Structure 1
Amino acid sequence: MKVLLISNMYPSKKYPAYGSFVQETVRGLEELEGMECQVVAISEREAGLKKNLLKYSRLFLDTGKALLFSSYDLVNAHYIFPTGFLALPAALLRGKPLVVTSHGGDVRLGKKNAPLKALTSLVLHKARRVVAVSHYLARELEGEFSLPREKIEVINCGVDTDKFFPRPREKALAELGLNPRPKEEKIILFVGNLIELKGLMPLLRAFASISPSLPQARLVLVGEGPLKERLLQEASSLGIKDRVTFTGPLPHHRIPTWMSAAHLFVLPSYQEGFGLVALEALACATPVVASRVGGLPEVVTHERDGLLVPPGEEKALAEKILLLLKDEKLHGEFSSRARDSALGHDFKRQIKRLGGVFHSLGPSS
């Protein structure tokens, strides 16, 4: 079966983490028997009206070329709008099924105003199936866009537990060139886009409030984004500049080492469709402190493998971070259960389910 996969995010040498979950999906699909993917995607991260127009114009043209010159049995678009909208001709003009994968940001965009809601609804109702990465998103699609539940498949991206697994913390720290004595260095790790929605300003203030009582703690932010300069200024004004590390973007294969080196993973987002990065941390047996929003409660089980806090409440965030850094017994209990939690979302299992959906719509169905 040949799948034309269209995405507005895909990694490149310059941006190795940009849409890495889509690249992983392609890899997983192609490991399934009889499955082949052709990728049409945007690999440039730069934003702004002019740059976005250029990026999506190229995506439209490349999709048009695939429509004219490529052979495929099914179209899979990642993100409803604008990617799913651009994918519609490739599916409808060839009489091929369209499967749209919703990751969360597209649902937020679709609720922004009436025209965007109409276009989002059009794509959703034209698609043969809609893959939602969480039950939270499935409910949103049903409620906001009147999408029949039978059209929705809840399949998350899954975590590759062969890549994300617990490594000895001392070894992970040494590999990163950090202090190999974990009792003397406690890393609080964040991985993701440096944007307002990730709740990083409250995180900095929360860390500043507890840092005097935890001189061995360090906050590490892995990623890039438009908020970086403001975060640097805020860290400086809070007097914690020397206690906060900005690594910049890292290739996906380097993230497991950082997660094993970390004492704690934090994801204080205001909104989150699923929270794959929290799942990756759990797979490395690293407890998580995250916001109780979106699909995150489907990933992190409160008081079992992590702690959930209201979004934007830096006092509650600080208290939970401090608790897990100081209470080694509780930290150990959460860590011992984290891996098992992640195994329920194993990548191979999720990919097999996704492949099953594709095959059910393919030429032999």
Structure 2
Amino acid sequence: MKKRKILFLGESYRADAITWMNGLKEFGNFEIICWELKTPNNSIVNRLKRISEFKLALFQIKKIIKIHKPDMVIAERTTSYGFLAALTGVKPVAIAQQGKTDLWPEQSISLPLKKLIQKYAFQKADLIHAWGPVMTISMRKAKVNMSKVLVLPKGIDLNTFENKDNRDATKINAIVTRSLLPEYRHDCILNAFAILNQQGIDFVLTIVGDGRLLPYLKNVAQNLNIQDKVIFTGRIPNTTLPQLLQQANFYISMPVTEGVSGSLFEAMACGCYPVVTDIEGNQSWIKHRENGQLITVDDVKMLADELKWAFENQEYRNKAVLKNRYFVEENANYKTNMTIIAAKYHELINASKTQ
């Protein structure tokens, strides 16, 4: 397979982006050149700086293109980096929608502008990634040419994320691996565990990662008098995550919106029983009390009740865990899926060279 160059526009430090790029290197013989905005999107002041930086972005990207001469441009998020990719003039272009829709937040005053930007990106893209079926719903509403859409998750490394079956079954040992941001409702999870604590159910809750809510969540745990049973790991290397998942018997994720969660696949592969919000992005993979639990958004009591039910029904959980590992092997195998994606990129590049 001939070596080709790809320019990646996006936040290269994110786990999803790393998986995407590493897969292209390993299974597609691609060289990856990265460009991303330098200002974090974590405050009003920084958002204003980011807008100023965005105005100069295309000029900077075209300088990189002139130097490196990439064969293709790929980008995450249709309303930002995807739009920039569409403006570069490089063919082919592949863009990836990041969530159920990139038109977020839904009440944003900039929503009409985002819709126009996204429409342009969709029209100019040669390939559009939907990492899961839920993403195609908004694409169809936007009248996207669905022949350009590839519905396939990037997948996970099943050799790294495997079920060691070395967990303590005498207590709830739960893990949360989502960013400490409001939309992931960590405070609801803490309140549910406070209910379990009052009922005398033993547990350890491990909250992985960092984010602006960390000090607040530590205070919540203390106020609920469960701080001795909650472990906040802070930011950890991705290489240590499999071991933490292999020690847990429950995986909890309570987002208010979801596209496709790589962290859910990782947990399922490692043998964690999934308890997640009852929203479309999770419904694609989890069926209630078949291979996991679906919880109404922000329903603390339901979360506590369903955790208790699942904990008390260990035989059911054991069957679900085995079913989930098989499902991930069949549908989210990183080697299989990234080989397909890499081959598609080579096909697009070869077609553009002959035009």
Q: Is the 8 A contact 1:133 1:154 kept in 2?
A: yes
1:250 aligned counterpart, secondary structure: coil
1:132 aligns with 130
Q: Is the 8 A contact 1:78 1:84 kept in 2?
A: yes
Q: Is the 8 A contact 2:28 2:339 kept in 1?
A: no
Q: Does 1:265 align with 2:251?
A: yes
Q: Does 1:109 align with 2:109?
A: no
Which structure 2 segments of 5+ residues have no match? none
2:164 aligns with 167
1:97 aligns with 92
User: Which stretch of structure 1 is more off in the superposition, 271-280 or 228-237?
Assistant: 228-237
Equivalent residues in 2 for 1:135-284, closer than 5 Å:
135-143=133-141, 145-169=142-166, 182-284=168-270
Q: Aligned partners of 1:105, 1:227: CA distance in 2, in Å?
A: 23
Q: Aligned partners of 1:105, 1:338: CA distance in 2, in Å?
A: 22
> How far is the alpha carbon of 1:356 from its aligned partner?
2.7
Q: Aligned partners of 2:16, 2:245: CA distance in 1, in Å?
A: 17
Q: Does 1:88 align with 2:83?
A: no
Which structure 1 segments of 5+ residues have no match? 12-18, 171-181
Q: Is the 8 A contact 2:101 2:138 kept in 1?
A: no
2:73 aligned counterpart, secondary structure: strand
> How far is the alpha carbon of 1:216 from its aligned partner?
2.6
Q: Aligned partners of 2:17, 2:243: CA distance in 1, in Å?
A: 21
> How far is the alpha carbon of 1:183 from its aligned partner?
4.2
Q: Aligned partners of 2:40, 2:309: CA distance in 1, in Å?
A: 37
Letter in structure 2 aligned against 1:160: D
Letter in structure 2 aligned against 1:82: S
> How far is the alpha carbon of 1:291 from its aligned partner?
0.8
Q: Is the 8 A contact 2:28 2:342 kept in 1?
A: no
2:118 aligns with 120
Q: Structure 2 residue aligned with 1:298, among 280, 284, 288?
A: 284
| TM-score relative to the length of structure 2 | 0.89
Q: Aligned partners of 1:48, 1:241: CA distance in 2, in Å?
A: 29
Letter in structure 2 aligned against 1:205: N
Provide closer, same or farther for how the CA distance between residues 107 and 79 of structure 1 changes in structure 2, counting only shifts above 3 A: same
Instruction: Note the alpha carbon deviations across 1:199-248, whole angstroms, 9 max, x for none.
Output: 22221111111123345301111011122222222222222222211111
Q: Aligned partners of 1:311, 1:50: CA distance in 2, in Å?
A: 31
Q: Aligned partners of 1:43, 1:185: CA distance in 2, in Å?
A: 44
1:265 aligned counterpart, secondary structure: strand
Q: Does 1:10 align with 2:12?
A: yes
> How far is the alpha carbon of 1:168 from its aligned partner?
3.7
Q: Structure 2 residue aligned with 1:354, among 334, 337, 341?
A: 341
Q: Is the 8 A contact 1:101 1:131 kept in 2?
A: yes
Q: Is the 8 A contact 1:5 1:39 kept in 2?
A: yes
Number of aligned residues: 342
> How far is the alpha carbon of 1:108 from its aligned partner?
3.1
| TM-score relative to the length of structure 1 | 0.87
User: Which stretch of structure 1 is more off in the superposition, 324-333 or 264-273?
Assistant: 324-333
1:330 aligns with 316
Q: Aligned partners of 1:354, 1:234: CA distance in 2, in Å?
A: 43
Provide closer, same or farther for how the CA distance between residues 152 and 110 of structure 1 changes in structure 2, counting only shifts above 3 A: farther
Provide closer, same or farther for how the CA distance between residues 202 and 211 of structure 1 changes in structure 2, counting only shifts above 3 A: same
